Amino acid sequence: MGEQAQLLPGTLDLLILKAVSLGPLHGYGALLRIEQISGKALLVEQGALYPALFRLVRQGLLKASWGTSENNRRAKFYELTAAGKRRLRQEAEDWKRLVAAMTSVLGAEPEEA
Amino acid sequence: MRFAAYLKSAGENLFGRSRADYELHEELAQHIRARAEVLRTSGLSDAEAERRARIEFGSTEKFKEECREERGGSWLETFWSDLRFGLRMLRKNPGFTVIAIFTIALGIGANTAVFSAMNTVLLRSLPLPHPEQLVHLILPNNQPAGAWNTGDGDTSFSEPVFEELRKQKEAFSDLMAYLPLSESKAAVRLDDEPEEAEVDMVSGNFFSGLGVRFARGQGFTMDDELRHTQVAVVSYSYWKARLAGNPGAVGRTIYVKSVPFTVIGVSGDGFFGLEPGFSTDIWIPLQNREDLNPWGNPPTINTLYGSPKWWCIKLIGRLQPGITKAQAMAKLDPVFQRAALIGLGTLDPKAPKPLLALRDAKGIEGADSVYDQPIKILMAMVGLVLAIACGNVAMLLVARNAARQREFSLRMTLGAGRRRILVQLLAESLLPVVSGGLLGWIFARVSSEALAAWSGMEVPFSLDENVLLFTLLISVACAVAFGVAPLRSAMRAPSGLGVKSANLGGNSERKGRWAGRLVIAGQMCLCLMLLVGAGLLVRSLRRYETLPLGLRPDGVLVFGTSPMSARTDQEKYVFYEKLLDRMRAVPGVESATVVENRPGSGWSNNNTFAIDGATPNGSFKEVGMRANDVGPDFFHVLGIPILLGREISDADCRQHLKVAVVNETLTKRFFPKGDPLGHMIGGEKPGEMSTIIGVAADSKYTRVGEEPIPMVYFNYSAGGSYSTVGSISDMHVELHTTGDPEALVPSVRAVLKELDPNVPMQKPMTQRAQFDESYSEARLFARLAMFFGIIAILLVATGLYGTLAYRVSKRTPEIGVRMAMGAQRVQVLRMVLRESLVITGIAVLVGLPLAFGGAQLMRSMLFGVVPGDCASFAGAVVGITLVVLVSSLIPARRAASVDPMVALRYE
């Protein structure tokens, strides 16, 4: 395993929304997809995923339904709702703005007098 | 959308719980299986893959719990399960539950009952629309000099003042007048049996201006006032009690002082009239008949419409909407200042100027000045009781939860959040508090009725929404206090520790013990304050009870009369002479007399009489005198010793001789040389004077607590203290009996009825009971304070006993070791007792100055006892020490009887 970054607080929800936006997923699938699209750079504690999924369902951003997994097991699949799509767009933009701002702050050179 | 998602999630959670839990379990299991498959493909054995997958996932139970908390409605669900858990815990400890509930019920109930009294007397608005607009008109400076007063000097106005003020429409939308028909109750007859009732005569706008609702019929109109119509309104409670709630009551006739009135209405439930502390039974429009003169006044002196000098009308106004009291005063005062002079001419410039003021119609009119402080002090006392009760319950909870620390740390280790435990503690404390509060409410309902009866209030202490709110507030405060008190010890439980060992950290144990000692010391402090207060009040009551009255109150029966058939002095005299003759003939009556003001009833005639034609100069305090008009044999009947000369005889009365007896104090003050016999007293003109024929020993007149004041007893049949003809009032009859005075009431009633069927026996009672009534507040306060003191003692004793017993049981091994090492039983006994005595000593040292400060606030409630009364303080200290000794002795003896062998083996 290479360098793995700790998740910033509050970013897990955004990651899940993004992962699920690429297609309905069950919990383990979401974990794998986050690992995959982050190039294994982000580490998600396995159990902590589920409370977050439940929270997003309660907030109406995800909906859950039982289906059959790739190896023919019953599994609970999550997909984005319309509100979830809006939220993802919004948060992604916020995040980009924040990153841009942080980058420019951290990239500033000391002004030589 | 979002709300719908929440509802769906909450619905699944609350109603499909087992399925939801199963699915949650399934989902996590599926995750672990999927992970294990991935690990297997990387070459691990089945068992190893499974194990690794589980380790990587972490604690499934913890995450399950977190998931459940993320579901909608989870707080409701956890709260519900906590409540059920709390209920189970309480069922498992029935002793604890019962004690906690009863302690809380006692504390809350006592507080609610006393608060309901405070609410009724001081806070409650009249049960009328827009009560905030209603104001009583008062005279802070009393009536102007030269006015005739009624005894209610600061609330009575003259008829011209009323007429002028009611014309001022900018301040009041309505100004209502009301006057009692009699000083106490008036004779009323429904059918054959005469009885007494509280009757007020009122202005035509009385009901409409106040906005009184009617259960039946209607109120008066201005026309009724102007034409003095003979119609009446009866109160709801009178209608229920005396007319059996009969709807046909409207239209029937009530005889008030033998004048027929037609009932036209029944007032709505809950309206008791405006007379302070009493409920008015019947209202009639203002009357100008001389036999219906207000205040029971004989019409020969003053009448409502004929005497502008007579200040006799009580007023209540309804402010115009949006007008403040200050704005209203600006409009009213000039009118008042002008009208006040009508009938009085000019005012003495040196005398204080007449002042008008407005007072919110709240609580019971006039009662606030009398009861304000006592009720606040009672409130403080029950507050102390509640604090002590709370201390006990808190200690119980802390002790019980200390024993549960293992449980808490186990639960925290298994993933319970701190918030979850807090909620659980709150839920557990809520149950006893809610049931205790309910029980306390029932307790308060019963006791407030008793309290009202005890204090002689005719108006019930209503448990209205104010009181309900108060009870709810203190209950919630209790619940939070009990929930939070054990929280600290619960939170202190380090997770993991509880699983490893049952042993508790010695340090936290010591801290807990200190907190416990502090609570006990605090309780003792409060208890000491209560006991000192109770002691002072009880000693005041003892002073009242043992104070010599200067007369013989036992064996004397007294009752009031009002002979309606007799109008003139001569008719009245004949009536009373006949009455006395008949009474003296009743078997069991030793002697009989009549008197204008019943001793011990609070009523008196106050005046400054001229001696030998010259009125002494000075303030009332220096030269004021009181008078009573008495019949023959008065001093003999009441057992007041005659020191000099003789008393007023039958012959004096038959001949209407102007004779008087004075008391010792008057003799000492105005006849310093000695013999007052033969001197004249009364008015300044010859026809108004009476010859002093005797000197009587001082005796109590208005009440037990009074100081001796110069006193004149006039012959009632010769003008009395009014010194004019036509002045025989309604007299009270005094009978000295040989047996039980109360037993004579039926035969006396029969004789009276024979004499005149319209004359009821008014307030028959023994003279002893009448004097006892004059300090009924003192008795009430002393009894209540004693009751609170006893509750406090019981609470402190049970709290201390419980704590010590618990501690001794925990220290049994230690005591065993000590005894094995040679400690004597006495030493063990002393060890346990010493701790409680040290706590007591500290509590007493802190509590004494506090109690001393508190006692200063009670000064106005004390009689013949100083606030620093040594006996009360000593009694309280001894009392609390005894309680401590008794409640410590049992656990101490148990400690001393520990068998070292058994104790050590147990360890």
Question: Using one digit for the tens of pLDDT, what is the confidence trace for B425-469?
Answer: 777 777 778 888 888 888 888 877 777 776 656 566 666 677 778
pLDDT of residue B416 exceeding 70, the answer is no
| pTM, to two decimals | 0.66
Mean pLDDT across B721-733? 72
- Span B79-95, pLDDT tens digits: 777 778 777 877 777 77
Taking the CA of residue A100 and the nearest CA in chain B, the distance in Å comes to 31
pLDDT of residue B508 exceeding 70, the answer is no
* Set of chain A residues whose Cβ sits within 8 Å of the Cβ of B72: 58
Spatial separation of the C-alpha atoms in residues B634 and B650, rounded to whole Å: 10
- Residue B625 near residue B709, CB atoms below 8 Å: yes
| pLDDT level of residue B489 (50, 70, 90 thresholds) | low
Q: CB–CB of A83 and B57 under 8 A? A: no
* Set of chain A residues whose Cβ sits within 8 Å of the Cβ of B66: 50-51
- Residue B724 near residue B689, CB atoms below 8 Å: no
* Set of chain A residues whose Cβ sits within 8 Å of the Cβ of B6: 58-60
∠ Cα B298 B752 B249 (to 5°) = 75
Q: CB–CB of A28 and B30 under 8 A? A: yes
* Set of chain A residues whose Cβ sits within 8 Å of the Cβ of B27: 26-27, 50, 75-76
Among partner residues A47, A63, A73, which is closest to B30 by beta-carbon distance? A73
Spatial separation of the C-alpha atoms in residues B870 and B854, rounded to whole Å: 15
Taking the CA of residue A35 and the nearest CA in chain B, the distance in Å comes to 14
Secondary structure class of B259 (helix, strand, coil): strand
Q: CB–CB of B59 and A59 under 8 A? A: no
pLDDT at B751: 92
∠ Cα B688 B690 B695 (to 5°) = 150
pLDDT at B427: 75
The pLDDT mean for chain B works out to 83
Spatial separation of the C-alpha atoms in residues B459 and B456, rounded to whole Å: 9
More confident residue, A18 or B60: A18
Spatial separation of the C-alpha atoms in residues B894 and B816, rounded to whole Å: 12
Q: Which residue's structure tokens are 């719980």?
A: B17
- Span B656-711, pLDDT tens digits: 999 999 999 999 999 988 789 999 998 888 888 899 999 999 999 988 888 899 99
Return the percentage of chain A with pLDDT > 90, whole number. Answer: 5
Asked if B636 is an interface residue toward chain A (Cβ–Cβ < 8 A), one would say no
- Residue B124 near residue B466, CB atoms below 8 Å: yes
Spatial separation of the C-alpha atoms in residues B854 and B371, rounded to whole Å: 17
Question: Most confidently modeled of A8-22, B86-100, B568-582?
Answer: B568-582
pLDDT at A1: 40
Among partner residues B6, B56, B67, which is closest to A54 by beta-carbon distance? B67
pLDDT at B126: 75
Mean pLDDT across B249-272? 89
Q: Which residue's structure tokens are 């979830």?
A: A84
Residue B357: strand pairing partners: B138
Q: CB–CB of B63 and A51 under 8 A? A: yes
| pLDDT level of residue B339 (50, 70, 90 thresholds) | confident
Least confident of B234-248, B400-414, B578-592: B400-414
Side chain identity at residue B748, one-letter code: V
Mean pLDDT across B200-205? 93
| pLDDT level of residue B506 (50, 70, 90 thresholds) | very low
Q: CB–CB of A59 and B23 under 8 A? A: no
Among partner residues B57, B62, B71, which is closest to A54 by beta-carbon distance? B71
* Set of chain B residues whose Cβ sits within 8 Å of the Cβ of A86: none
pLDDT at B13: 62
Residue B268: phi, psi to the nearest 5? -65, 155
Nearest CA in chain A to B61: A47
Among partner residues A46, A52, A63, which is closest to B31 by beta-carbon distance? A46
Q: How many other CB atoms sit within 10 Å of the CB of residue B769?
A: 16
Return the percentage of chain B with pLDDT > 90, whole number. Answer: 28
* Set of chain B residues whose Cβ sits within 8 Å of the Cβ of A27: 27, 30-31
Among partner residues B2, B56, B69, which is closest to A60 by beta-carbon distance? B2
Among partner residues B37, B60, B70, which is closest to A51 by beta-carbon distance? B70
Taking the CA of residue B209 and the nearest CA in chain A, the distance in Å comes to 59
Spatial separation of the C-alpha atoms in residues B684 and B610, rounded to whole Å: 6
Among partner residues B9, B56, B59, which is closest to A57 by beta-carbon distance? B9
Mean pLDDT across B256-282? 84
Mutation target to probe the B interface, by most B beta carbons within 10 A, among A54, A81, A87 is A54
Spatial separation of the C-alpha atoms in residues A93 and A103, rounded to whole Å: 15
Q: What is the largest CA-CA distance in chain B?
A: 136
Mean pLDDT across B9-33? 75
Spatial separation of the C-alpha atoms in residues B112 and B436, rounded to whole Å: 12
pLDDT at B896: 82
Among partner residues A45, A60, A76, which is closest to B27 by beta-carbon distance? A76
Which residues, at least 6 apart from A30, have a Cβ–Cβ distance to it below 8 Å?
A: A16, A19, A20, A49, A53, A78
| pLDDT level of residue B849 (50, 70, 90 thresholds) | very high
Q: CB–CB of A69 and B34 under 8 A? A: yes
B444 exposed, middle or buried (CB, 10 Å; 0-12, 13-18, 19+)?
A: buried
**If DSSP states are collapsed to H, E and C, what string results for B89-117?**
HHHHCHHHHHHHHHHHHHHHHHHHHHHHH
DSSP H or E stretch at residue B313? strand B313-319
pLDDT at B557: 95
Q: CB–CB of B70 and A54 under 8 A? A: yes
Nearest CA in chain A to B64: A51
Least confident of B127-131, B360-364, B624-628: B360-364
pLDDT of residue A42 exceeding 50, the answer is yes
Spatial separation of the C-alpha atoms in residues B625 and B658, rounded to whole Å: 18
Side chain identity at residue B482, one-letter code: F
Spatial separation of the C-alpha atoms in residues B230 and B238, rounded to whole Å: 19
Q: CB–CB of A47 and B70 under 8 A? A: no
pLDDT of residue B474 exceeding 80, the answer is no
- Span A66-102, pLDDT tens digits: 888 777 778 888 988 988 899 899 988 988 998 899 8
- Residue B207 near residue B220, CB atoms below 8 Å: yes
Taking the CA of residue A113 and the nearest CA in chain B, the distance in Å comes to 54
Token digits for B538? Answer: 């009880």
Least confident of A9-13, B504-508, B815-819: B504-508
- Residue B425 near residue B487, CB atoms below 8 Å: yes
Q: How many other CB atoms sit within 10 Å of the CB of residue B624?
A: 15
Q: How many other CB atoms sit within 10 Å of the CB of residue B688?
A: 18
Among partner residues A27, A57, A75, which is closest to B5 by beta-carbon distance? A57
Residue B45: phi, psi to the nearest 5? -70, 165
CA distances from B620 to B609, B690, B701, B710 (A): 11, 21, 17, 11
Side chain identity at residue B451, one-letter code: L
* Set of chain A residues whose Cβ sits within 8 Å of the Cβ of B13: none
DSSP H or E stretch at residue B60? helix B60-70
* Set of chain A residues whose Cβ sits within 8 Å of the Cβ of B70: 51-52, 54-55, 58
Angle between helices B17-41 and B46-57 (to 10 degrees): 120
Spatial separation of the C-alpha atoms in residues B295 and B473, rounded to whole Å: 45
pLDDT at B578: 94
Spatial separation of the C-alpha atoms in residues B728 and A71, rounded to whole Å: 116
- Listed by number, the residues of chain B in 11-70 with a beta carbon closer than 8 Å to a beta carbon of chain A are 23, 26-28, 30-31, 33-35, 37, 56-60, 62-63, 66-67, 69-70
Mean pLDDT across B186-191? 84
Residue B197: strand pairing partners: B186
Spatial separation of the C-alpha atoms in residues B386 and B380, rounded to whole Å: 10
pLDDT of residue B233 exceeding 50, the answer is yes
**If DSSP states are collapsed to H, E and C, what string results for B646-664?**
CCCCHHHHHCCCCEEEEEH
* Set of chain A residues whose Cβ sits within 8 Å of the Cβ of B56: 46
Q: CB–CB of B72 and A58 under 8 A? A: yes
Token digits for B133? Answer: 């607009």
Spatial separation of the C-alpha atoms in residues B100 and B564, rounded to whole Å: 61
Taking the CA of residue B24 and the nearest CA in chain A, the distance in Å comes to 9
Nearest CA in chain A to B53: A46
- Listed by number, the residues of chain B in 522-541 with a beta carbon closer than 8 Å to a beta carbon of chain A are none
Mutation target to probe the A interface, by most A beta carbons within 10 A, among B56, B70, B74 is B70
User: Distance between terminal CA atoms of chain B?
Assistant: 64
Spatial separation of the C-alpha atoms in residues B589 and B13, rounded to whole Å: 85
Side chain identity at residue B344, one-letter code: L
Based on DSSP, count helices (H) and strands (E) in chain B, helices before strands: 29, 25
Reference B475, options B533, B513, B505, B434; nearest CA is B434
pLDDT at B223: 92
Q: From start to end of B759-811, where are the E strands? A: 762-766
| Torsion over CA: B283, B763, B624, B572 (sign) | positive
pLDDT at B498: 41
pLDDT at B74: 64
- Span B604-649, pLDDT tens digits: 887 788 899 888 887 777 788 889 999 999 999 999 999 999 999 9
pLDDT at B504: 39
pLDDT at A113: 47
More confident residue, B409 or B169: B169
DSSP H or E stretch at residue B358? strand B357-360
B179 exposed, middle or buried (CB, 10 Å; 0-12, 13-18, 19+)?
A: buried
Reference B723, options B874, B569, B557; nearest CA is B569
pLDDT at B648: 95
Q: CB–CB of A76 and B33 under 8 A? A: no
Q: CB–CB of A58 and B35 under 8 A? A: no
pLDDT at B276: 60
Among partner residues A26, A58, A71, which is closest to B5 by beta-carbon distance? A58
pLDDT of residue B573 exceeding 80, the answer is yes
| Torsion over CA: B143, B773, B536, B798 (sign) | negative
A interface toward B at CB cutoff 8 Å? 26-28, 45-48, 50-52, 54-55, 57-60, 63, 66, 69, 71, 73-76, 81-83
pLDDT at B632: 94
Residue B612: phi, psi to the nearest 5? 50, 45
Q: CB–CB of B1 and A60 under 8 A? A: yes
Token digits for B173? Answer: 């939308």
Among partner residues B23, B60, B70, which is closest to A55 by beta-carbon distance? B70
- Residue B63 near residue B28, CB atoms below 8 Å: yes
pLDDT at B364: 61
Spatial separation of the C-alpha atoms in residues B293 and B729, rounded to whole Å: 12
Among partner residues A28, A54, A58, which is closest to B6 by beta-carbon distance? A58
pLDDT at B338: 87
